[in-house]
Structure formats: structure tokens, C-alpha cells
Chains A and B, each alone.
Chain A
Amino acid sequence: MSVNRAQRVDLEVVTDLIPAKSRVLDVGSGDGVLLELLQETKQVDGRGLELSQRGVNECVARGLSVIQGDADTDLKFYADKGFDFVVLSQTLQATRNPKVVLDELLRIGNCAIVSFPNFGHWRVRFSLLIKGRMPVTKDLPYSWYDTPNIHFCTIRDFVNLCEELGATVEKATALDANGQKIGLSMPWWFWNFFGQQAVFLLKRA
């Protein structure tokens, strides 16, 4: 259960958005670090969906309620508005069809919380613009040929997709390279340039 600092801040931001005793579905729950945190600090009724069988077995052995499944194919089995919150933490960019996945999150949850690495961050832009290489950073450590992240987007791209799906952004947080929250007063272009991670709280009537 090792998490780096940026991930840790991301988990904290997500946890802060969820009121105590909520019903939460964590899509891409990994080894269960977020679910465990939510259970300990918020006493949520938490469930997980995780692709890797190893992650699932670890979660269940630790007493978490997790099933093996694929966000791209298995979300359709969940009932409408079955959860207060559906969380997709650092997983959107690894799905085959992010638009469908986001649509499903908004259907299953009263609220959806989505966090993702921002491909509009200046380091990424710098790598392509100056070095002419696909970016490999501490948070995105994969080479282009072995990355599980097949659908990167920028904060602006994501906001556009939300509009297209009829979702309203209830709250948004961007974290800079040091894991610090970027001030709310800053304009979108600033977030898109200096935000390394983004966390969105979404709702669809």
C-alpha cells in the first residue's frame, strides 16, 4: 500500500469531498487504499471495482467489499443512482472509452468524483515542444509503448467533456507539482498550465 506524495494529496482531496456514512463506489480501487481511508475516517458504506485480480484478493482479505471487473464493461451492471458517490481516481486515462465511463459514473452515482493527471501541465507541454519526446515524469513514469494510460486529457478537455455529457462541475481542485492546491481565484488557463493533478466533483440532474 505504498502511495507517493502526490497520490496521497489526491486521496485527501477526494476524502474531503465525501460526507460521513455515504454510499461510495470506488472504480479502479487498486489495493483498496482509498476505500480503507474512507472507511476509517468517514465510516462510509464502500464498495470497489478493480481490474487486477491480485488487487481484488488483497482487498477482500483485508475485509473490503471489492469485485473484479472492468470499468469499460462492467459498470452497466450497477443500478441507477445506487450510490451517493462514485469515485474514479487516477483511472480515467486508462479506460478504453472515457466518455462512456464518465456517463456511467454520472448514472450510477448522485455525484461523481474524478481525478486525473493533467496533460496540459507545463512540463508535459515543455517535453513535447522543446525535447520533442513523449513526456515521462515522476507521476507519469511510463514510456509511450508500455503505458496503460491511453486516453490523456487536459483540464480544459475534461471540462468540455463534462459539458457534452450535461454534467455540472460542483467543485474542482487542481494540485501543483508540490501537491499544493491552486488558488480558486485563478483562471482556467492557469489551472490548465500549472495543475499537475485535477479533482472534479460532478453532478447531473
Chain B
Amino acid sequence: MATQRAARTNDEADHPSSPVLQFGPDKPLKLDAGTLLSPFQIAYQTYGTLNDARSNAILVCHALTGDQHVANTNPVTGKPGWWEVLIGPGKIIDTNRFFVICANVIGGCLGSTGPASTNPATGKPYGLDLPIITIRDMVRAQAMLVDHFGIEKLFCVLGGSMGGMQVLEWAASYPERVFSALPIATGARHSSQNIAFHEVGRQAVMADPEWHGGKYLDFGKRPEKGLAVARMAAHITYLSEAALHRKFGRNLQDREALTFGFDADFQIESYLRHQGMTFVDRFDANSYLYLTRAMDYFDLAADHGGRLADAFAGTRTRFCLVSFTSDWLFPTEESRSIVHALNAAGASVSFVEIETDRGHDAFLLDEPELFAAINGFIGSAARARGLSL
């Protein structure tokens, strides 16, 4: 079952279950690394119908280990879409009303060009021959997809974590194309601590002998142990001490007493091992390296002369930022500094901090206050945009 899924992931890289938009040599993707990516492709999902005025489009940006299957059953895992609690017919982001687009990021592994995709120059997977991808590169590619739909201005761009970084980049790079922006549980730059956690993850992948210098797919291998450890470490940062204690405490796993060995005595150990194991079935290890790097490189202020407010100078986009009290990956202060920059730029901005012990991952969960904020913000933006109810 697991190997079947792994094989499925490899298939998805070149021949995804999603629609694919291909860009030939005439339309290369200009990368921040200074090179061109060509040809390349974007795999995406859409929901709902684009109206005649093309004014009801919402772009959803996914997080580090997310994908384009935001509101449909995931073809690899068979699980519901990662934001189905929020998006769908009659939901808060109502697909009867809005045209929702979600694309796999460049550097990902579910159909958009990434390290697991076949390099047309060699006929083999790119591996580490793929240039480093940045958040801005991802957004540039998304803009080409949005062009393809003939959409001049997106009604809303939203996303959490790495998705939130893309939202901020969209607002900074294409202010005239974003009517409203909803960055959740994110930051305008990756902190030193976050880079540190990512580096631990990358080193775990690269220390796995099955990684083969990044060429594991050529050998029919996968650095599963390394990637699982990376996921385990990262997963801890997505939760909070309070939530871990509430869920697991020091409870033992299927046993009455400590075994005086290194088995998973504790429930938390068993839980993390499970998280690691299921992750490697659906994710490419090199993709994990590329996407964590993209987040590390993100520093929106540095791209605008060191002053974050300048990234948003003159913006007419309506912003709503959301943070969670127990998120220690992107603490509230990160959102607040964006809010201050937006204030200085004279932007229209709302900011909600939600009290929860569920940590960073709260943005993916059924959080009534989050939904109330999104509902209020989208509703008032829709009225301002003249979208009928």
C-alpha cells in the first residue's frame, strides 16, 4: 500500500490527476536565481464558475507540504482536501459564488515542475539540477496561470504559512491584481529559528544514504527515513506544548509500563512516527529541500530596500491578517509587524489574533473564530467589489 502510494506520487510529478498548464520555450519562467525555467508546467484545481466580469476569482496558496487539492479528495492519500472545512458549495468560501483556483507550487511534487519532474534535457528527474526556487518564483508562475484564465484582478488571494508568504508576495509584486489579501499564520520573512528547524530537516534527508546526492529516483530509491525524521521534527513546530500535553501527556502506547528500551513507549512517539511514515508516502524528499529553502530565502522587506512598508507603498488592496496565540513558528508579533508596515503604507488592514492552544496548524482546523473573521472580511470585500450575494 505504502509503496503503491509512493509510486503514485512519482507519477503525479509528471502526469498529475489535475489539469495541467504547459508553458513552452516561448514562455519561460524567470527565476530569482538568475536563470530561466523552460519548459515548465503548473498543475491546478478549480472549483465553481468564473463570472462574465471575471471578478469573482479567489486564488488559494498552499503551505509547505500542501498541494492543489484544496477542496477535493486527494488522489494520493484518499483524504478530503486540506481546506474542505472552509471551501466548497455553501461553505464560507462558497464555490457556488466564487471561482476558486489552487495550484501546486513550482518546486512541488504533485504536478507543477519540481525536482521530481523529468528534466527534458536529460530525460531523468531534475533532482538537484533544478535551480533554487523562491516564493516570488512561485507567485510569478501563478500569475501566468491567472493570465491563462483571462483574470486581470483576483478578488482575493489567501493562504496560511508558506501560502501566506505567497499572499504577501502577490500583494507586493502585483498590487493592482489583488483586490483583497488574507495572509494567515505567516511572516514577511523567515526567522532564524525557523531556518534552523528547516536546516535540521534538510540535514536529516541528506544524511539518509538512500538520498544518493539527490539522485535517488535514478536508483529507484527514496530517502524515507531521513524525510520521516524531517517531518517528525517539523510536525512538533506545527503544534504547541499545551496541545501536545492535552492530547498525549506522558501516556504510554499500548502498554502498561515502560519497556526499558527504545520502542515507542509513549503515545507521542508513536504519533510522530506515524506522521513521519505517512508523509514519505505522499511527498518527494528533494521537493521538501526546495520548498523549505524557498521559505528560508523569503524576506519581503529586504526585497524592498529593507523597509517593509515600501513593499506595500500606495497599495489599494484590502488586507486581513490572522495569527494564533499558540503559534510559535509564526508568532503574533510577525503578523503585527506586517500590520504596522501596512499602517505606515496607509493600507486598509484588519488584524485578528485568535486564542487557541492548537499552534501553527490551527489555520487548517475547524476554528470558529477564524471562519467568522474570514467570513466577515470576504463578505465586506465582496460588497466593495460589487459582487452580488
Contacts and interface: CB of A to CB of B under 8 A. Distances in A.
Interface of A: 45, 47, 53, 56-57, 59-69, 74, 77-79, 82
A58 to B, nearest CB: 9
The 4 nearest A-B residue pairs measured at CB: A63-B380, A67-B351, A61-B372, A61-B376
Contacts of B376: 60-64
B369 interface: yes
A68 B353 contact: yes
Nearest to A45: B348
B344 A78 contact: yes
Chain B: number of interface residues, binned into ranges:
20 to 34
Nearest to A54: B355
Nearest to A82: B346
A61 B369 CA distance: 8
Contact of B383 (A53, A63, A65): A63
Nearest to B379: A63
Contacts of A74: 340, 343
Interface string B358-382: 0000000000010011011101100
Nearest to A78: B343
6 contacts: A57-B352, A57-B373, A60-B373, A63-B380, A67-B351, A77-B344
Contact of B352 (A45, A60, A63, A77): A60
B345 to A, nearest CB: 7
B151 interface: no
A66 B350 contact: yes
Contacts of B340: 74, 77
A47 B344 contact: no
A193 to B, nearest CB: 40
A121 B370 CA distance: 44
Interface in B171-187: none
A53 B373 CA distance: 12
A78 B340 CA distance: 8
Nearest to B340: A77
B320 interface: yes
B342 to A, nearest CB: 9
A105 to B, nearest CB: 14
Contacts of A45: 348
B153 interface: no
Given A53-B353, A77-B343, A78-B343, A61 B348 contact: no
B217 interface: no
Contacts of A59: 350
B300 interface: no
A61 B353 contact: no
